[in-house]
Structure 1
Amino acid sequence: MWLWLILIVIGWLLLSPKCDSNAYKLRTTDICRGVGALPASSRRALAITATGNDVMSPDELFTPPVFNYSRSLRWASTAETVYMVFKEDLEASEKVHLPVCGSDGDGSGINDPTDHIESIPYIDTMQDIHDKGQRGSLQYFLLYCTEPDGVQSQCSHWAPGVFTRMFIASCTSLALQWGTIGAAFMVGWFTPTTKLGCRSLGYLLYGVISTLVWMMLLISSILAHSAAADPRRASLSTRVALAFSHIMRWTGKLFAILNFFLVIMASVLQYSSFYDRCFCNSSVFGRGGAAYIVILETAAQAAQAKNAWIAALVLACTSAAAFLGILGLLLDTLPSLPS
């Protein structure tokens, strides 16, 4: 049942930027090409500076990874906006060869009154963009990247492809979860006395509640992001969506806490031999009044239990291997850093 946790940790390590060996190799080679910053700043490089009024869900203000569900849609939208800004700027610079400070980098462009501020070099991603046209002060870069008067950016509130990525991630995670939990449930179901007993019921409840929690938190994040399109909450639909988002979030977190205690207690009772008693061994939940206890297993019952254990092992290992395979395929589609 706990096999899924190992795979989640492996996936986290593979996707985490802290574990990118190629990035560590380039940490010294790209120092001169990095982006400068103003000195004497004590702020952290990455920090959440929003307040309670800036977000639709309070979970967006919490940094632990378990709260990433509440930030995924907004992060995808913000990342898409930043990407499009740089993409359009590079395409425009390629067409007109527009420099930041003059075409020759000698100040022949607009005068920059902030020459005393540290200049920032762009990382060249196009061979035909002159390097001298990519340097300027911090303030001039802000002016350079600002849209002209009267021009509005047409950025969508929903990042393109975000629901496709969400669908793939959800299906992969659910397949891993139910592949491992289903294997444990299969062992408990087919071990004499067969059918639903204390052990198999604990596995089933854990899987069902986990899936229910995932569904509630996912719906909560979608409704919260939808309400964020109307920050003033003027329309009735926005207020209703936000209210349902809060209800889903509170209920999902309550079920998650209950499920945590359930799975811990199920494991403790399993290994403390608490289930080794008449009520649990007779599978009362599945057989009702016809429940019985197997004292001596027959050859057929032993063969059935053996086949169930083998099938459960194959199911769990196949789910784990498929999860790693899909994760590897998705990693191959990510752009790699230049060597």
Structure 2
Amino acid sequence: MVSTFANATALTYRACVKLCGAGPESPSWTVITQQFSAWLLPWLALLSQLPFGAIDLLDNLSSIVLTVGSPTLAAYSLAITVMNGRWIAQHFFTIQSPTAETAVRVLSRLQQSPLQIVEGSGLNSLVEFRENDLWWEAMLKHLSFVHTWSISAATSVAWVVIAYVFTVADSFSPDNIQPFNTDGQGIGSQWLFLLAIVVGWLQLSPKCDAASVHHAFEETDHMMFVQDTSTPEKVLKQLEDSSQHPFELLQGLHWQSSLRRDEYRGTPMFNYARVLPWTLNILKVSEAFRRVESRPKQQPGMSDIWDSGVLWRITLSSFFALVLQWGTTGAALVVVMLTPTIGLGCRSACFLIYGGLSSVIWFFMMVSTFLTFGATRMYESQLRPTRSQQFSRFLLKWSAILLRRFCKLAAIVNALWIIVFCFFQFTGFFNRCWCNSNVLKWGADKAYIVIQYTTQDWTAMTHAWIGGVGLGVGSAAIFAGFIASQLNPPMPKPRGSIREN
């Protein structure tokens, strides 16, 4: 208790309502524009540096929405892509074909494409005959376009970094710290995930221009040689019917179109949906190489997919995605929750909901991916299904589709949520008695508002803010370091010819 109001450092919630009313403070347009341009606008501009390239503009828009709505899923797609690139290089390392390195590079660059590889004589011919080396080389050349660093990308990244450094430094000045946390300290820490994801994609340089990929297939289809079985000598001839090529791009015009919709989308954001079918494709090609070398294993199946280490890659990618998500969200929570009044309040609850929903979306999207793969395998293997098999695969198919659609709807809501929340933060919407006293934490009877910071408050708050910045920057750095460590794996080197013709 204090003897006069002038000596008070805090105010109870009920006293606040009585003196100030229950509504928010009046918004200041000057504060709104300053906070928006300093804390949020650079991040929204950075979204333009995400890799796009889908033929349908709605797919590109979906990529943005999913990235903002579920940073966990976006980080996972990036992490699994770089891990797949390292795995395929290791998987082909013992193959002695002179084409092995080129094949690794081609297949790795097709991770963003709805690739389907058909086993049989065509695939065997493609890896066996030296005449087809030209096809591999031509395909690699056509897939050499990149989404990588440019002046525009470097400028956007530099703008975000400089803006973040300056605004964080400025926020530590006592003259600029607003008592009720209307500044964007927590917001800046939350959006650090985007910097790590954009820089990761720029380092990886994914081949994600769908039109260029289609052009690469069109330009190289006629370059493949197959055996002419109509003559006794079985001489080689050029493939005349491109539909017989073992490599094809799914067009989404068959029964699986709704089930495998995300596989058809050309942006790298949707690589989460392609990891299992892509792994199966790689096993088909590697087995064809080993078959030519007279050391076949078996026809790739479900057991080979799990033995390939795909579950470990998925697990590790998921771990680092969650590190990025909860490192940045945790940083925002530390900043907000440890700024007096300490505890869970409106602002911290909003961050918590955003991070939690992002993680839930990622989890159920992963479940949908496994259901989709299982349903696809059932449709392909059950040519004459029984009634119970028909029901099982129908149930599996629509469970995957509905789950995926629900998650995308949730991602839209979550993306709007974080943007609206940021705007409310800048307008002072949360500067009301209920939010500033953290009634969520303390209850109406015990809640209070700090109206004058003591020296102890300033010290504790400064330490919390430094810790929050360190947590956010550190988690983004850990994720970026993991991505960098997976790049440029050692490639298989030729050890001689498979067959001379």
Q: Residues 52 and 306 (structure 1 numbering): CA distance in 2 closer, same or farther, change over 3 Å?
A: farther
Report the equivalent of 1:2: 191
Question: Shift of residue 75 of structure 1?
Answer: 1.5
Residue 181 of structure 2 is aligned to residue 36 of structure 1: no
CA contact (8 A) 2:252 2:261 kept: no
Residues 42 and 6 of structure 1: is their aligned pair in 2 closer, same or farther, counting only changes over 3 Å? farther
Q: Find the partner of 2:265 among 62, 78, 93.
A: 62
- Contact 2:290–2:297, Cα closer than 8 Å, also in 1: no
Q: Deviations over 1:216-245 (max 9, x none)?
A: 100000111011111056524433332322
Highest relative contact order (Cα 8 Å, sep 6+), 1 or 2? 2
Please give the residue correspondences for 1:179-328 in structure 2 after superposition, counting only pairs within 5 Å. Answer: 179-231=327-379, 232=382, 234=386, 235=389, 236-289=391-444, 290-328=446-484
> Structure 1 residues 228, 152: CA separation in 2 closer, same or farther (over 3 Å shift)?
farther
Residues 1:165 and 1:260: Cα distance change in structure 2 (over 3 Å): same
Correspondence 1:93-172 to 2 at 5 A: 154-157=299-302, 159=305, 160-172=308-320
Shift of 1:337: 8.6
Q: In proportion to residue count, which structure has more helix?
A: 2
Measure the CA separation in 2 of the matches of 1:275 and 1:4: 24
Point out where structure 1 has 5 or more consecutive residues left out of the alignment: 20-34, 96-150
d(CA) in 2 for partners of 1:152 and 1:16? 34
Q: CA deviation at 1:176?
A: 0.8
How far apart are the structure 2 equivalents of 1:195 and 1:278? Answer: 15
Matched, 1:51 2:238: no
1:239/1:310 CA distance change after superposition, 3 Å: same
Seen in structure 2, the aligned counterparts of structure 1 residues 336 and 180 have a Cα distance that, compared at 3 Å, is farther
Mapped pair 1:11 → 2:200: yes
In structure 1, C-alpha distance between the alignment counterparts of 2:203 and 2:260, rounded to whole Å: 29
Q: Which residue matches 2:161?
A: none
| TM-score normalised over the length of structure 2 | 0.48
CA pair 83-40 structure 1, distance change in 2 beyond 3 A: closer
Q: Counterpart of 1:293 in 2: which secondary structure?
A: strand
Unaligned stretches of 5+ residues in structure 2: 1-189, 209-221, 225-237, 495-501
Question: Which amino acid is the alignment partner of residue 219 of structure 1?
Answer: V
Distance 1:306 1:80, change over 3 A: same
> Residues 319, 63 of structure 1: CA spacing in aligned structure 2 closer, same or farther, 3 A cutoff?
same
Percent identity (aligned): 34
1:269 is displaced (CA, Å) by: 1.1
